Structure 1
Amino acid sequence: MAVAGEGDDISKAKGDRAMPGSEWELRMDNTLLMALKKGDARTVERFFSRAAVLSSEVADHALAINLPDADNNIVADGEAGRRTWRGVTEGRKTALHVVATFGHFELAKLICTRDSSFLRARNVAGETPLHCAARAGADQIVSLFISVARQQEDRSWLEAVLRATDREGKTALQAAAEEGHAAAARVLMSADPGLAAIDDGNGVSPLYAAVLSGSLEAVQILIESESPAEGGQQDGTTSASRVAPEASYAGPNGQTALHAAALRHPEIANKLLDWKPTLVEKVDDSGSTFLHYLAATPLEDAVRQLLERDTSTAYLSDCNGFFPIHVAASMGRRAVAIVLITHCNDMDELVDKEGRNFLHIAVQFDEPAIVEFVSRQPLLAKMMNGRDYKGNTPLHLAVKFKNQKIVSLLLGNRRVHHSIINKDGLAPIDLAITQREQGLAGAQGPEDWIIQCLQRTGAVFGPRRLDPLINQKANEPDLKKELKKYESTTQNLIIVSALIATVTFAAAFTMPGGYRADDHQNGGTPTLTRKYAFAAFIISDVLAFLCSIIATTWLMLAGSLATDPSRRVNLILRSGPLILIAVQSMIAAFALSVYVVLAPVSIVIAVVVCVLACPSLLLSDTELWQRLHLERTVKSRLGWSAMNRTRAIFRAVAAYLVVYVVIVVLSLFYFVKH
């Protein structure tokens, strides 16, 4: 077996790389590896003493020897090569890589004294020991390696060590910057300021890496370090660093270090701006500036500070034509938008490639906070009716995206013209009609609500015939979609109705208060039959059971393939109110059963249960809340005089109370008769 001698340069045969399968690639002893990691100098020196024996070579073949291991056991000649301190780990790390990684300065010094060629050895990732020391933040070891490289007769050694790159193209300076090790970065920059100008294989600069690490000190070192004075190479510097280029600020995808600082570290961003103010104008591959990045964050103070420096970047658009104000609107950053508008009073005039102002964007991205802010600013009133290149106003877009809240905000503002016609000849109400789904639709779906809201606020159709517009989609039914809708609706409703029928059926045989004993004159009968609340409980339970049974039957017919689709719709629509009555009656039955049991001992609790239970269904009535929302929008635009149609709301409430009135009347009739 060939054994490396004491003075052999391990890099010479490898060309500064640990080549797989090389005859020089020896396996490091596990005992030595553990000693190197722990910094056990005594064990390491014992391995060094063996090297003197292993250095004896024959000209054409290796000398076979036996020598004691760490435990004084004899090692066979086949194991001798693998026991040398020059071996490497599975990751092809040499002893110098290991001690550099763990920051053992004395051992690093000892190994360098033994063989300085280890400085140029590389592990499987292409890293030199200097990379490992820099990444570990071991600035003393970094300084040691530079000093050893400087002492070599070959003057190119220092540059080769300092500027060596790993497989990803990263220098030792970038390794230190990634980890935020300012001290190690300072040592490297002192030796070669030009390192700050070297990007890795992905176009990432050390400065960008330092920003990502969040180390302000490391950033300062990279941007403030001065090059050595011209007029001759100074001791401790490379020839390439005599006139060092300016530090690179490049990042991936065309970003700069300032882009990286936008979302993470405002202090670092300020430091970069002080160093190079022109960074604010640099754009990434998407055309985004630093202000575009800031506008997407809630950092309004950072935006304010930037605009106080220079407002010009507020007028730079990205590849989509988005200005920073558009970005803030799309993200709902109300505070940032206010700062932009305060410092730049013509933000309302900026439009993207489709001619949309930032209010259009806020509507498109469903950001009601921005819409509400604009609607309250008289100076921004022009935006409310601004048209894009297709003639669409923000109201057109709100109708298109079926956004009830934003439609309400816009229509509630009297400055909004609700009948503007776009280039397709459609007013907002025309667009709402075309957006309306045909077939089985909820009575208060978003499309119907928007149409009603537009009609109630006085919106008019465009100058065209109404019948083609209204019948446009009615003549194009999607039968498969409608059938799936029928099946889904039927399944959901029939589960509810069947559940109500089951519960109310069981309740009829589990009477509150229990039954009389068998030895009683009326044995087996409910004990509370003479109470009015009990009679009301029975009526409520029966009403819920009957309505749910009828609804279940109709839904079974609606789910049958033999039933005509038009009849299916009628059956489903008719079963809906019955299920609501059944639910309401079941709630009443629950409240009355609790009242019957608790009233004799605690009338207060009994009444509270009834008060909480009875209006619960009314409070969960989405249709009622939709109507209230509609009336509020109408009132905001037209005033109280337009509220005469609130009778529909009172009718809905009255319809809800009818069920309870029926229960009360029937119960009273039964109680009086018996």
Structure 2
Amino acid sequence: MDSNSSQVAPVDDSQIQISIQSATQDDSQTETRHMNPQLYKAAAGCKTNDEVSDILKRFHDLGDKLTPMENTVLHIAAQFGEQERVQLILEQPSGSSLLQRINKLGETPVHLAAREGHLNVVQALIDAETERVEFLRMKNHEGDTALHEAVRYHHPKVVRLLIEKDTEFTYGPNDKGNTPLYMAAERGFDDLVNIILDNRRSSPDHRGLMGRTALHAAVISKHPEMVQKILEWKRGLIKEVDDHGWSPLHCAAYLGYTSIARQLLDKSETESQVIYYRTKDESKKTALHIAASRGHKGVAKLLASYYPDCCEQVDDKGNNAIHLFMSQRRHFLKLFCARWFRARGLLNGKNKMGQTPLHLLADFQMDHGTDFIMSQKVDKMALNEQNLTATDIISSAKDSLGRQDSILRKLKSVKARAGPLGWQWALKAINENKGVNRSEDKGGVRESEDKGDVSRSKDKGEDSGGRDFIKAMKKKGENHLLVVTLIATITFAAGFTLPGGYKDDDGMAILSKKTAFKIFVVADTTALVLSMAAVCVYFFMALNNRKEVLHDFLNWGFNLTMYAIAAMMIAFMMGLYTVLPDSAWLVVFLCAICGCFFIFFSYILRKFYSSWKVMIKSSFWLRKFKLFVIKRQQLPLMRRGNGLF
């Protein structure tokens, strides 16, 4: 056999590339339909009326002249708002046939004019079809009518015109499920909502996305006036729920809109069942449960004040509102000012896991739940399904937030003890540690295992975490010590370099009789005392390695430092005010600048503590005082605190 016949002929790569390029060029050079440039410019308003008339006469059938998006010359004139061009085009023999012509997106000229807000053009197009207004109801490929477009881009005059010309049409939803009324409410266009509701003979459709109504949208957009308008139009929308079972009241509870929730409740006298509606998801939450799970105390109190028995409902896991508030790790003292939340059945209610709110407080390590722990109505020895008390749970938890010891001290101060199985888990943990220690003596590597839910053996990682926590706390104390030392130095020096100087004869302060000078002396002394007290606190931090003591000392020193800064600022302001003339504009400027500092100071403290009551309750000495009172069983002194429960 010939050797040459057995060889495969090589393929020329250059020929393949040329053929591919040729095919691509053929595809890219396909003829594209387009409009004559002169005709396009004439419709867009770039020519005079005489020039436009001459250009239009050159084309016998304007319907054949299309852009790449298949827009006709009437589409172009309507889009650019050229009313005179629109009328000239409609006067042509083929012009009237363009009124209902659609482009590639299914849009008529009215769609484009309404979208751009060209009122005169919309009016001209409607006047050209006086006998039939059904073309206003035509939808594009997304199901939008001209009214949808006018509402979407907020053109009130166009919306009013379209509704007045076709008052009988209800304007249903587009392909996304949104009606014009829902779109206006969703976007917060209260003026459009008023126009749609006030200028219709038939009731407009109110549906929206995911089965929501216009009332849902008004609540979510937080427009009380719009909510009131829709409720006056159709009160029954209060009970309408979306595809997930959420009513407008559920939405208000989720977002924490207390004023809007009150509006809905005031109008729900005949629809009282709405507050008991449950969502269709797995959680089966009511509006109260949603407000509690989001930490909205105001909405929760409002709902309970209207329908107190709603507090008895639980979700699919058996959690009542108190359980859900605990899961938010938020300060909830205001909630218990309402008597409906102070019943022992709620405070000690158990979910499906047998956990009471106190169990969750311990599990989430909520250190600001002091009043709840101290309340006589709370069962401190309640057992969950695993026969564990709150003390067992907090004892077994990892102290990731540095609050474990503080919570344990509070629980012990009110006679809260470990459960019946707590000692068994502790003994088991001790035995496991002994076994681990033996293996380590034999040369093995020590390993810690998590055995059980109560007493977890502390391994090297946990010990290391504790050392890191102590080290970090002391580092913070050192940084704070630098700041407070600087404050003490400044205030000490200011005490001997008084503003105005001293008298030569007796060495007394020259301005000692001025009120501003006296305020300066008091503020400077206060700042010095507070800063020196903070210095002592930070010094003591260096001598202690207990996490709970370090945490309390740092909190104490921080508060002293902040108040020392405020006092130093007052001393500075009064010192300058003393030596400046009373009528000088500089005095006014000084007071304004210093006032801005105190506004900023208050804002920072409020952000840090989340509320002033939390700041007061988190104070070191106040918590110590409460524990002292409880320990000595001086109940009359705590009557005010227990009265909340």
TM-score by length of 2: 0.63
Q: Which residue of 2 aligns with 1:281?
A: 239
1:457 maps to 2:435: no
Q: Is the 8 A contact 1:457 1:638 kept in 2?
A: no
Distance 1:475 1:188, change over 3 A: farther
Q: Which residue of 2 aligns with 1:216?
A: 190
Q: Give the residue type in structure 2 aligned to 1:460.
A: R
Distance 1:116 1:25, change over 3 A: farther
Q: Is the 8 A contact 1:186 1:221 kept in 2?
A: yes
Q: Within 5 Å, which residues of 2 pair with 1:41-440?
A: 42-43=47-48, 45-55=50-60, 87-89=65-67, 91-114=69-92, 115-150=95-130, 158-159=133-134, 161-193=135-167, 195-227=169-201, 246-264=203-221, 265-310=223-268, 311-319=272-280, 320-369=283-332, 371-374=333-336, 377=339, 380-382=342-344, 383-406=346-369, 408-436=370-398
**CA separation in 2, counterparts of 1:190 and 1:593?**
76
Q: Could you say which structure has the larger radius of gyration?
A: 1
Q: Is the 8 A contact 2:391 2:418 kept in 1?
A: yes
**CA separation in 2, counterparts of 1:334 and 1:341?**
11
Q: Is the 8 A contact 1:178 1:212 kept in 2?
A: no
Answer with 605-614 or 195-204: which moved more.
605-614
Q: Which residue of 2 aligns with 1:624?
A: 553
**CA separation in 2, counterparts of 1:177 and 1:431?**
57
Q: Give the residue type in structure 1 aligned to 2:424.
A: D
- Decide which of 463, 467, 473 is 2:424's aligned counterpart: 467
Q: Is the 8 A contact 1:180 1:214 kept in 2?
A: no
TM-superposed deviation, 1:138: 3.0
TM-superposed deviation, 1:101: 2.9
Q: Is the 8 A contact 1:288 1:318 kept in 2?
A: yes
Q: Is the 8 A contact 1:391 1:421 kept in 2?
A: yes
TM-superposed deviation, 1:363: 1.1
Q: Is the 8 A contact 2:301 2:338 kept in 1?
A: no
TM-superposed deviation, 1:435: 1.8
**CA separation in 1, counterparts of 2:57 and 2:416?**
99
**CA separation in 2, counterparts of 1:225 and 1:578?**
67
SS in 2 for 1:404: coil
Q: Is the 8 A contact 1:86 1:95 kept in 2?
A: no
Distance 1:612 1:104, change over 3 A: farther
Distance 1:619 1:150, change over 3 A: farther
Matched-pair identity in %: 25
Distance 1:49 1:575, change over 3 A: closer
Distance 1:316 1:33, change over 3 A: same
**CA separation in 2, counterparts of 1:619 and 1:132?**
76
**CA separation in 1, counterparts of 2:119 and 2:252?**
35
TM-superposed deviation, 1:274: 2.0
**CA separation in 1, counterparts of 2:384 and 2:88?**
82
SS in 1 for 2:170: helix
1:234-258: CA deviations, max 9, x gaps? xxxxxxxxxx7x4221111121111
TM-superposed deviation, 1:269: 1.8
1:177-220: CA deviations, max 9, x gaps? 22333332333334434543421111111211121243334324
TM-superposed deviation, 1:288: 0.7
Q: Is the 8 A contact 1:391 1:422 kept in 2?
A: yes
Distance 1:395 1:625, change over 3 A: farther
SS in 1 for 2:343: helix
SS in 1 for 2:385: coil
**CA separation in 1, counterparts of 2:480 and 2:217?**
62
Q: Is the 8 A contact 1:216 1:268 kept in 2?
A: yes
TM-score by length of 1: 0.61
Q: Which residue of 2 aligns with 1:506?
A: none
SS in 1 for 2:368: helix
1:580-602: CA deviations, max 9, x gaps? 7994999599779979x979995
TM-superposed deviation, 1:445: 1.8
SS in 2 for 1:426: coil
Answer with 459-468 or 279-288: which moved more.
459-468
Q: Is the 8 A contact 2:182 2:207 kept in 1?
A: yes
Q: Within 5 Å, which residues of 2 pair with 1:554-633?
A: 576=471, 583=478, 611=532, 614-615=535-536, 617=538, 621-624=550-553, 632-633=622-623
1:292-319: CA deviations, max 9, x gaps? 1122344333322322222332121212
**CA separation in 2, counterparts of 1:185 and 1:379?**
49
Distance 1:248 1:575, change over 3 A: closer
**CA separation in 1, counterparts of 2:193 and 2:475?**
67
1:591-637: CA deviations, max 9, x gaps? 79979x97999599999598488347369952436798687557547
SS in 2 for 1:271: helix
Q: Is the 8 A contact 2:33 2:68 kept in 1?
A: no
Distance 1:435 1:471, change over 3 A: farther
Distance 1:384 1:25, change over 3 A: same
Q: Is the 8 A contact 1:26 1:86 kept in 2?
A: no
Structure 2 gaps, min length 5 = 1-27, 437-444, 449-458, 499-520, 542-549, 557-617, 635-645
Q: Give the residue type in structure 2 aligned to 1:111.
A: I
Distance 1:576 1:337, change over 3 A: closer
Answer with 180-189 or 125-134: which moved more.
180-189
SS in 2 for 1:423: coil
TM-superposed deviation, 1:346: 1.8
Q: Is the 8 A contact 1:287 1:318 kept in 2?
A: yes
1:432-491: CA deviations, max 9, x gaps? 122235xxx7xx8223332232222210222225132575599599x9999xxxxxxxxx
Distance 1:132 1:403, change over 3 A: same
**CA separation in 1, counterparts of 2:480 and 2:303?**
57
Distance 1:277 1:615, change over 3 A: same
Q: Is the 8 A contact 2:391 2:416 kept in 1?
A: yes
Structure 1 gaps, min length 5 = 1-19, 57-83, 228-243, 483-563, 645-674
Q: Is the 8 A contact 1:372 1:409 kept in 2?
A: no
Q: Is the 8 A contact 1:32 1:44 kept in 2?
A: no
1:55-111: CA deviations, max 9, x gaps? 49xxxxxxxxxxxxxxxxxxxxxxxxxxx9975555544332233234332222222
**CA separation in 1, counterparts of 2:484 and 2:250?**
60
Distance 1:449 1:411, change over 3 A: same
**CA separation in 1, counterparts of 2:60 and 2:172?**
40
Answer with 99-108 or 627-636: which moved more.
627-636
